[in-house]
Amino acid sequence: MKEKFFGARDKWWDFDPLLIKCTRFVPQGKVLDLGLGKDGRNALFFSMLGYEVDGVDIDESAVKQSLERAKNLGVKVNAQVADISTADIKCGEYSIVLAMYMWQYFSRETSKHIITKMKNALSVGGVAYVAVFAPGDICFDRAKNDPDFKLVGPNTYYAEKGQWWGCQTSSKQTYVHSFTKEDLLSLFSDFELLHCSESVDMDIDHGKPHHHNVLIYIGRKCP
Ligand SMILES: C[S@@+](CC[C@H](N)C(=O)[O-])C[C@H]1O[C@@H](n2cnc3c(N)ncnc32)[C@H](O)[C@@H]1O
């Protein structure tokens, strides 16, 4: 099990360590991962623990790679190619909804719509896990220095024909957006607060080692 979970040292699993804590208060049931990513790291973490996991990503190759990785690990993930903002998500179905490091691609308005979808998707007592590249993160420096991007709102850049620097997004999405801690606490004011933190994290997954400003909110849906 240990071998499967962590693999060789240079391929250590990179799930978010806070997820381990989460498993203590997430009831067994279904998990939804919004924006799986290329390795489905968080979705696979839960499926290895016996949760039934659904996931979506707009990037076909991310879905394909997550499914392949699940197969190699002998676990199952129901992954589909879809746009989070328009995907049909069942109400009251999930014990935890993960929305990690995908907020930057959406406008503030769409992000708020996604938060409403997350809340509706959770069963009572279910947990919302939100991880955001916080204001001041390097992606904002990039937008600030890219002549195609204009500041259009609080912590929000927009480019008419912008590209998310190599990442696939839906054709309409050319935003670089973030929530502040205060934003998130207020948007989840109807949830029980379990965790909220801001930190500077090291990223050694791609390119040269670099840092991200990270904001994590975890809350539980109240009866
Ligand atoms: C930075 S990765 C984070 C992946 C994963 N959540 C993690 O924490 O490792 C962001 C992911 O969001 C996906 N994404 C971006 N826009 C999306 C959209 N409109 N609908 C679904 N997925 C989207 C990207 O394809 C990418 O895989």
pLDDT of residue 6: 57
pLDDT of residue 67: 95
Each residue's pLDDT expressed in tens, for the chain with a length of 223 residues: 455 555 555 555 577 888 988 888 898 899 999 999 988 999 999 998 999 999 999 999 999 999 999 998 899 999 999 999 999 999 999 999 999 999 988 999 999 999 999 999 999 999 999 999 998 898 888 888 888 889 999 999 988 865 655 554 554 558 889 999 999 999 999 999 999 999 998 887 777 888 889 999 999 999 9
Q: Is 108 helix (H, G, I), strand (E, B) or coil?
A: helix
- Dihedral sign of CA atoms 61, 134, 16, 26 in order: negative
Q: What is the residue type of 47?
A: S
CB burial string 153-187: b at 16+ within 10 A, e below: eebbbbbeebebeeeebeeebbbbbbbebebbeeb
pLDDT of residue 143: 85
Does the beta carbon of 83 lie inside 6 Å of ligand 1? yes
**All domains of the chain, ordered by start, with CATH?**
2-221 (3.40.50.150)
How far is ligand 1, taken at its centre, from the CA of residue 175, in Å? 14
Ligand 1, from 105, 170, 212, 214: best to mutate by most atoms within 8 Å of Cβ?
105
pLDDT of residue 13: 58
**Residue with CA nearest ligand 1 atom 25:** 59
| Other beta carbons within 10 Å of 48 | 18
Ligand 1: nearest atom to the Cα of 62 = 27
How far is ligand 1, taken at its centre, from the CA of residue 36, in Å? 6
Dist CA 87 CA 80 (whole Å): 10
How far is ligand 1, taken at its centre, from the CA of residue 104, in Å? 9
Q: Is 32 helix (H, G, I), strand (E, B) or coil?
A: strand
CA angle centred on 186, ends 169 and 22, rounded to 5°: 70
- Dihedral sign of CA atoms 83, 85, 86, 92 in order: positive
**Residue with CA nearest ligand 1 atom 27:** 37
Does the beta carbon of 43 lie inside 6 Å of ligand 1? no
Dist CA 153 CA 141 (whole Å): 15
Contact 99, 216 (CB under 8 A): no
Does the beta carbon of 132 lie inside 6 Å of ligand 1? no
